[in-house]
Amino acid sequence: MNPLAHFYPHSLPRSTRFHATADGQALDVLAHPSADHTSFECDGPVAIEIACSEIPSEVKVRPLRLDIEAEIIGNRIRFLAPGPQPLQVEVDGAHLLYVYALAPAAPTPQGPDVRIFRSGAVHEAGLIVLKDGETCWIEPGAVVRGSIRAADGSGFHIGGYGILDGGYWPEHEGRCRKSLVLDHCRNSRVEDILMLGPTSWMLVLGASEDITIKGIRQIAGDMSSDGIDIAGSRRVRISGCCLHNGDDNIAIKAICNKSGQDDRVPLGFPDEDWNHTVEDVVVSGCMFYNTHGGSAMEIGYETITEHIRNIRFEDIDVLAVHQFGSVFGIHNGDRARVENIVWDNIRIEHHFDTLIDFRVLRSRWNVDAERGFIRNIQIRNVVALQSIHNPGYTVSIISGYDADHTVTGVVVENFVLGGKLVRNADDLDLVTRHAHGITFAAETSAESRQPLPQARELAAAS
């Protein structure tokens, strides 16, 4: 098929930095304070041309593993998008443009339990409360300004290629709300929508089970704009998401929800209802970009439950973790036993403050008097780039709280940092306290030691 561009109402702000085409067809490039963005559907490679307001000197197309070479001709950038795949274009190390190449859209569902927001309009929706089994569908070219709540039911489906704009609430009420909350839900799906901030937490699973999140895109820059928060939930599958957040991209926790009715469907649940056991969570095939703080992949700080266990992150591109966040984060501040956590096949293009940060601790976010522990953690098959800003600044930390609340059994296997295989704690600038059984395993294949494409150029330019 020829590229099918998504066009939005004229009232939305357009980019002043970028104009773009896909196979010669004009794209609608929207502006956002954190990153500009455009989207289209395709089923194969597409030639992208971007006209910049100023002549660019340097361009990177991420994820770098795709090895997409961008050609600069005057003020124009040209490259070949490989097909359906979200891409981040970084110009001169400062300006970001997301090019969302999407698979052909599914047909708009029909039926009495389907709530449709049609293309070509800005829908000032405010708070949307879904009924049991209801579908909320945002068509491409539609903007829904507000937030969505589903609670105490099953079969909820939220989808479509349109935009959910969480910026509605600061403008109308002077405060933020969580953008999308599934509260005590079962057997439900959230797919494909583009979520924009500023906002509070963007997508929250509270005490929910058997949830699928697929193909979600997010752009937000405010602090506390967590991407996906999994709070007291089980059997969760997250895949193919592209998250740009000002705080944690993925946060797994168990929490007392004391935010009141602002962020709740008023169904009478008590405050302490998102502190269930968290287990059987898989996050795969995603891209993460973190701007102000928090972690790309975080467990904690709130861990008010007995167990957080059997969590897996795999095939992840961490485009950047800026400022004081970490890439791999576990912050066990309450009583939970955090165990059986696996990171596998992770590619890290930029990080600064902390690479690995595992701690049993006490912080202002925590309420339990009892401390927990962390055990049986695997980090394997990792390629992390380094820049001139890392040595002497970036550290890793593995720390228990005291002799009775420790971190035990951490395996670092086939971890390549700056082109060098990590063989010991010194190679990671790793600091430990009340931590035992930390081991470093040799590489499993020569191929996995190869740097990301463009790694040398990235390190030189950073």
User: What confidence tens digit (pLDDT) does each residue in 79-136 have?
Assistant: 999 999 999 999 998 899 999 999 999 999 999 999 999 999 999 999 999 999 999 9
| Residue that the structure tokens 């400062």 belong to | 94
Q: Which long-range contacts (CB under 8 A, 24 or more apart) does 133-136 make?
A: 135/109, 135/111, 135/159
Ramachandran angles phi, psi of 371, nearest 5°? -95, 155
For the chain, give every residue range classified as CATH 2.60.350.10. Answer: 4-102
Rounded mean pLDDT of 195-203?
A: 89
Residue 257 has what pLDDT?
A: 64
Q: Express each pLDDT in 348-359 by its tens digit.
A: 999 999 999 999
Cβ–Cβ under 8 Å, residues 379 and 356? yes
pLDDT of residue 457: 44
Do residues 453 and 426 make contact, with C-beta atoms less than 8 angstroms apart?
no
Euclidean distance between the first and the last CA atom of the chain, given in angstroms as a whole number: 38
In which residue ranges of the chain is CATH 2.160.20.10 found? 114-461
Which residues lie closer than 8 Å to 110 by C-beta, 6 or more apart?
none
Q: Cα–Cα distance between 284 and 317 in angstroms, integer?
A: 10
- What percent of the chain clears pLDDT 70, i.e. is strictly above it? 91
pTM exceeds 0.75, yes or no: yes
pLDDT for residue 1 is more than 90: no
| Cβ-Cβ contacts under 8 Å for 151 (sequence gap 6 or more) | 129, 181, 182, 183, 184, 185, 264, 265, 267, 269
Q: CA-to-CA distance for 190 and 173, rounded, in angstroms?
A: 26
Arithmetic mean of pLDDT, 375-386: 97
Residue 222 pLDDT class (50, 70, 90 cuts): confident
Peptide bond into 3 cis (omega under 30): no
Q: Find out whether 312 and 339 touch, Cβ atoms under 8 Å.
A: no
What pLDDT, on the 0 to 100 scale, is given for residue 167? 83
The CATH number that domain 4-102 falls under is 2.60.350.10
Specify the amino acid at residue 185. Answer: C
Work out the average pLDDT over 10-37: 97
Distances (CA, A) of 140 to 160, 227, 242, 431: 7, 21, 17, 48
Tell me: domain 114-461, CATH 3.40.50.2300, correct? no
Mean pLDDT computed over every residue of the chain: 91
From residue 161, how far is each of 102, 103, 112, 392, 430 by CA, in Å?
Answer: 9, 10, 21, 44, 43
Residue 330: pLDDT band (50, 70, 90) is very high
In this predicted model, what pLDDT tens digit does every residue of 393-437 receive, in sequence order? 999 999 999 999 999 999 999 999 999 999 999 999 999 999 999
pLDDT tens for each residue of 252-309: 999 986 554 455 444 444 444 899 999 999 999 999 999 988 899 999 999 999 999 9
